Structure 1
């Protein structure tokens, strides 16, 4: 298939894109490249791409594709809280508009990267795809809204699928440190402390970004009737953990560290465990390869190799919200988080690859 991947230079996209190519697909990327200066280790892949904000996509950008894998968006809760209206504009309104344009262009498959954060306050019971939504952040609410509106576009010619990813982890050229396992291993490696900012009781399902990518590839290749207008929790039933359990895994992985709770640590109302049986049952090609212990070891090895410092992962080099605030203060971005014209031109001459 010829596939457009939005957010191909993001945390998940930078890992998923080469896996799609290895699976035999022709891939074109679309990314505003806000994090071009945040590359961790090896640089992102060299593929045909459009440097473009998802809000500015035009019909002509979508010509000739069989499928769209939509990953682009403001990726975490602190960024969403920076300006909730922008989160809805980018993650919700622009996503629905992209789906409508895709349908108008004649694209058959539209796979949306949703999130288990839409379950929000779900407690300790395992939730299936049929569970009620209780999102508590602009990010989670935006995912819920997109699913509801794009589902209404489904018909005989346009087939959306919604993959609700568990909390991601794992090494990527565009590594994120605001994700629980990535974050705790980073604290342990750089300070000797597995630093927990909650009371450790909330539940989280976690999944490696390579396994997320495998789920997208499996959904893309599945018979239409199996995935048409369907939602799937993406993860592994045995990989639901309380935060304190993840902390213990990190303690056992990183030598010489200890667990420490923040002085103001309290309960986190975001608490959910997810049942991923539907994905395993309906898409048997999805064969996850990772678990938390193996992921913690991968992260620890990567941090050692690069000599990660506390300043790196807590500062604007890799921290998403810190980097965005830095670009804003430098005048590189305008208040809508679009590149200013002169900066966009400079970045294009340095970085952008031809789109063919």
Structure 2
């Protein structure tokens, strides 16, 4: 197993550090995960999303290239396909981002692939919508969220009309994709884009809701008062990663993931306040910290002196 070194902190600080190239020198690969992680955060201040997710990401790739890093694995997203029709979309399909988050990923991909050369090899992993138990579990993700509502209230609480399609993938399988991309022969991943997931793991939201209803005892399906169609609608073809990235062998299905989540939530005695409040809901947590005066609206800690 290769040695992994995690660099924490704000990516904006890292890429503006005059010593950044030296800090990257000697690494074989960079797995770039830093960024605002979802649409609510992306919508908070779109210009900030672009600065963090695109401008800083592109700067990091340039620094890695200057430091002689051979591999650069970028955390992209199937959100790039945005408003597609019901046909399956492969990696060469039309990109149609409908949110600032997705737009930032599309911009980053285009700029980083332009840096590829004989010494610098970027790879782009467009993850399906994640789900599953993890140390920093996200409740804004559809499978996690529907299961949480069912466990806490007995209702599988749909916030859309349930018609949109989503590809989904367990967080552990996403981690396997990163390992496979780093360990694969360079020729198999150089400049490549991979949809991360399984083609069989595309579901309409209402299908996920029905699986949750079947697994959580006594659960019933219900709709929020403001439930409406969602612009994001895409089915993703993941056959290319199965053919090309031989080290990627996904282990999870939606049903198994819901069972895992139910067991974890049931053991914890999950409440609505746990997952809808500021403790775990990222945008609510940030808004609370801004209101308390511990976080600047540009998402820097308030103790930091900000140049104007």
Q: TM-score range by the shorter chain?
A: over 0.9
CA distance in 1, matches of 2:22, 2:52: 20
The 1-side partners of 2:224 and 2:302 are apart by 39
Q: How does 1:271-290 map to 2 (within 5 A)?
A: 271-290=233-252
Number of the residue aligned with 1:60:
22
Residue 220 of structure 2: aligned partner:
258
1:303 aligns with 2:265: yes
1:112 counterpart = 2:74: yes
Report the CA distance between 1:59 and its aligned residue.
2.1
Shift of 1:336: 1.4
- Could you tell me how far apart the structure 2 residues matched to 1:284 and 1:332 are? 46
The answer for unaligned runs of 5 or more in structure 1 is 1-23, 32-51, 344-356
| Counterpart mapping for 1:122-161 below 5 A | 122-161=84-123
Q: Which string of whole-angstrom CA distances, capped at 9 and with x for unpartnered residues, describes residues 231-259 of structure 1?
A: 00000010000000000010011111100
Superimposed CA distance per residue, residues 79-115 of structure 1 (whole angstroms, 9 cap, x where no aligned partner): 1111111110100101000000000111000000100
The match for 2:153 is 191
Unaligned runs of 5+ in 2: 15-19
Secondary structure of the residue aligned to 2:26 is: coil
Alignment deviations for residues 103-132 of structure 1 (CA, whole Å, 9 cap, x no partner) = 011100000010000000111000000001
* In structure 2, C-alpha distance between the alignment counterparts of 1:230 and 1:331, rounded to whole Å: 43
SS state at 1:205 partner: strand
Alignment coverage as a number of residue pairs: 300
Q: What is the TM-score when the length of structure 2 is the normalising length?
A: 0.95
TM-score w.r.t. the length of structure 1 is 0.83
Please give the alpha-carbon distance, in whole angstroms, between the structure 2 residues aligned to 1:243 and 1:182: 12
Q: 3-state SS of the aligned residue for 2:169?
A: strand
* Counterpart Cα distance in 1 of 2:171 and 2:158: 22
Secondary structure of 1:30's aligned partner: coil
Which residue does the alignment assign to 1:335? 297
Deviations 1:283-302 (A, max 9, x none): 12211100000000111111
Aligned ranges 1:19-98 → 2 under 5 Å: 24-31=1-8, 52-57=9-14, 58-98=20-60
Q: Equivalents in 1 of 2:135, 2:186: separation in Å?
A: 32
1:305 Cα shift? 2.0
Q: Cα RMSD (Å) of the superposition?
A: 1.2
Asked if residue 205 in structure 1 is aligned to residue 154 in structure 2, the reply is no
Deviation at 1:342, TM superposition (A): 6.8
Question: In structure 1, what is the Cα distance between the partners aligned to 2:23 and 2:218?
Answer: 52
